[in-house]
A = this chain, B = another copy of it.
Amino acid sequence: MALVRVQNFAVSLDGFGTGEGQSADAHFGHAGDRLHEWMFTTRWWQPGGSGGVDDAFVRQHDVGIGAEIMGAGKFGHPGWHEDPDWRGAWGPNPPFHTPVFVLTHHRREPIEMAGGTTFHFLDASPAEAVDVAREAAGGKDIRVGGGATTIREFLSAGLVDHLHVVVVPILLGRGVRLWDGLEGVERDFQVESTSSPSGVTHVTFTRTTA
């Protein structure tokens, strides 16, 4: 059975999945690159990088994934929908290579990019979005790619089978929180924590209930 997975979602120690002040020039607001620096030291990112636990997790991003669901806040900075030419911040060949379903109240026609990525725009409940994405994923898993608001929504709805969060030891102080309103969610999961020499801690939630 295909799974709904979150991979490599980074949060600060105080639980923020992005900083304050997101814009076209600052996708993570005042957080800058700090939530993702742990990736830059892996050999996935650069030759001669580390092949340790960070590398192992970062490489799970694509494995077995047939479609992504993301929120409008990941697809574009506030106001993106006023720009008819906006095609995401990833350039002509986005790193998804599958259908991507963008949850938004500002629907538009699908955008076909190079490398197998097509952005579809969907105004739907999380459960409906999973149904649509499952259809498109051809038996493979579905990635819920963020941001924090969207992951929280899918966790609340009980739709996530596997959650991988990377806790980065910084205190952002402000931004969008991942964990709000999720009291007791861990009960349906086996939770493991693995610290890396890079300083981050990988926390995985693996569903134990049907």
Residues of A bordering B, CB below 8 Å = 13-15, 167, 169-174, 179-186, 191-195, 199-201, 203
Contacts and interface: CB of A to CB of B under 8 A. Distances in A.
Contact of A182 (B173, B181, B185): B173
A171 B185 CA distance: 7
Nearest to A204: B169
A182 B183 CA distance: 23
In the complex, which of the residues A181, A185, A195 has the most CB atoms of chain B within 10 Å of its own CB atom?
A195
Copies of this chain, complex-wide, total 2
A56 to B, nearest CB: 15
A198 to B, nearest CB: 10
Q: Is the interface of A mostly helix, strand, loop or mixed?
A: loop
A41 to B, nearest CB: 15
B195 A171 contact: no
> Nearest 10 A-B pairs (CB), nearest first?
A173-B183, A14-B179, A169-B191, A193-B195, A195-B195, A171-B182, A193-B201, A201-B201, A171-B185, A170-B186
Given A167-B167, A171-B183, 18 more contacts: A14-B180, A15-B15, A15-B179, A167-B193, A169-B193, A170-B186, A171-B182, A171-B184, A171-B185, A171-B186, A172-B183, A173-B181, A173-B183, A173-B184, A191-B199, A192-B199, A193-B195, A194-B195
Nearest to A11: B13
A90 B30 CA distance: 44
A167 to B, nearest CB: 8
Contacts of A13: 179, 186, 203
A209 to B, nearest CB: 16
A127 to B, nearest CB: 22
